[in-house]
Every structure is written in structure tokens, then in C-alpha cells.
Amino acid sequence: AQSVAQPEDQVNVAEGNPLTVKCTYSVSGNPYLFWYVQYPNRGLQFLLKYITGDNLVKGSYGFEAEFNKSQTSFHLKKPSALVSDSALYFCAVRGWGGYNKLIFGAGTRLAVHP
Amino acid sequence: NAGVTQTPKFRILKIGQSMTLQCTQDMNHNYMYWYRQDPGMGLKLIYYSVGAGITDKGEVPNGYNVSRSTTEDFPLRLELAAPSQTSVYFCASSYGTGHGDGDTQYFGPGTRLTVL
């Protein structure tokens, strides 16, 4: 079965500290992995994706994610958190079915404190 | 380039009423999707379309209908609204297969629907 797990409902980080938002996946074959961010009362915004190639993917707003095939993980990272990074973050994996189906995790709320 | 637009932003319905949520994209995307977002549950796919005239069910299609008469528009119809349909609804689109960015979905701002 195809699935995505985000084990933390909320992550709290002090401004200026590094942050990590965790994601693990289960899918047959090579995974296509995505991170999206949702600010309050807004739609989801694409941050970055891994399709193939370098395991470290760089995306928008200084975020990056590391693909680890052996641990089936795709953790989102940022070296120095900003208060404005506070939002809801979704990890997703592309399922198979011919229509680029995305399977989303339940989301992790990131709170960055001044 | 407005991207994906949705109307209305908010709506309150009474049980048994019907309504149509509008979605339009101006990126010439072939694929379009409707999701609902319930608290703590991530997004669930309701319906999708891979081109004008072609639609199919997602994970949670019951109580909804869609049509796709043009590339740009993908309206979602709720018939006989029920409290269980209280949710935030997102429309998304993507280029689809054969395009370098075909996998990335772009989302509208959402419609917050309450059924009382």
C-alpha cells in the first residue's frame, strides 16, 4: 500500500535554530516525493520535490530535503528558522494510477518562536 | 497569470441544499483535481480529470459530481449537502504526463464550506 507518515503533529523551534520536519513513505518502485507548505487560510504552496538524482534537494525559502532510500525518509530541513516559517507542512508521495495522484501525510505544524 | 482560482471563498449551506464550487486555471494544465481537507487528516482526493471531457473518482467521491467541458474549468457539484461535507475544498492542477514539471500540482486558495 502507498502511504506517507508525518510522525510529529507539531514541531517547536526557536528562531535562528535549525529545523527538521520528518516524513517517511511507503511506495513500490522509485518514489516521487514532495513538500508543500500551507499558511493560515491559504492554499498549499509547492516547496520542493525529489524525482531522481542528488539526494539533497533544495527548494523555496531556503528549505531543503534529504532523500534516504534505505530509511524510506524525506525529511524537510532549514539551517536557520524564521518566525515567518510558522505554517503547516505536508509531505506527499506520487502514487501510481496514470493521473499523477498525490498521497498526502496528515501534516506537521511548525511553530517558530522568537 | 492568476494560477488556480476558486470561488466562493466561504459558504454556509443548510442540509439538503446544493451548490457548485468553481475552479479555474490559466496555466493550460491538462490535469485537474479536487481535494477536501479535514482537520488532522491531510488532503483526500475527491475527483480528478486528465483532460476536457474526462473525469474519474478519487478516494472520497460520494456526494459529489464534477464535469470538465473546457481545459480551464473544473467545477465541483455538491448535491443534497450533509454535515459530513463540512470541510475546506481545494482545487489543484498540473501539466500531467509528458511534461518536465508534470508531477507538480498547483493549488487554489480553497473554499471553506459549512453545512448546518
Q: What is the pLDDT of residues B48-96, one digit of tens each?
A: 999 999 999 998 999 999 999 999 999 999 989 999 999 999 999 998 7
Say which of B50, B58, B109 has its CB closest to residue A42.
Answer: B109
What is the Cα–Cα distance from B6 to B90, expressed in whole angstroms? 8
For residue B58, which residues of chain A lie inside 8 Å, CB to CB? Answer: 101
Instruction: Kindly determine whether residue B104 and residue A34, on different chains, have CB atoms separated by under 8 Å.
Output: yes
| Confidence bin at A2 (pLDDT 50/70/90) | confident
Which residue in chain A has the smallest CA separation from B31?
A99
What is the Cα–Cα distance from A15 to A12, expressed in whole angstroms? 10
| Confidence bin at B41 (pLDDT 50/70/90) | confident
The confidence score (pLDDT) of residue B99 equals 64
The confidence score (pLDDT) of residue A100 equals 73
| Confidence bin at A42 (pLDDT 50/70/90) | confident
CA distance B96 to chain A (A): 7
Nine-digit cell string for A65: 530535503
What is the Cα–Cα distance from A65 to B5, expressed in whole angstroms? 29
What is the Cα–Cα distance from A13 to A99, expressed in whole angstroms? 37
pLDDT tens-digit readout, A47-94: 999 988 899 999 999 999 999 999 999 999 999 999 999 999 999 998
Which residue in chain B has the smallest CA separation from A40?
B109
* B106: contact with A, CB 8 A cutoff: yes
Interface test with B, best of A6, A10, A44, A48 (most B CBs within 10 A): A44
Closest C-alpha among A54, A70, A69, A72 to residue A3:
A72
* B3: contact with A, CB 8 A cutoff: no
The confidence score (pLDDT) of residue B40 equals 76
For residue B102, which residues of chain A lie inside 8 Å, CB to CB? Answer: 100
Which residue in chain B has the smallest CA separation from A89?
B42
The confidence score (pLDDT) of residue A98 equals 63
Closest C-alpha among B49, B67, B47 to residue B58:
B47
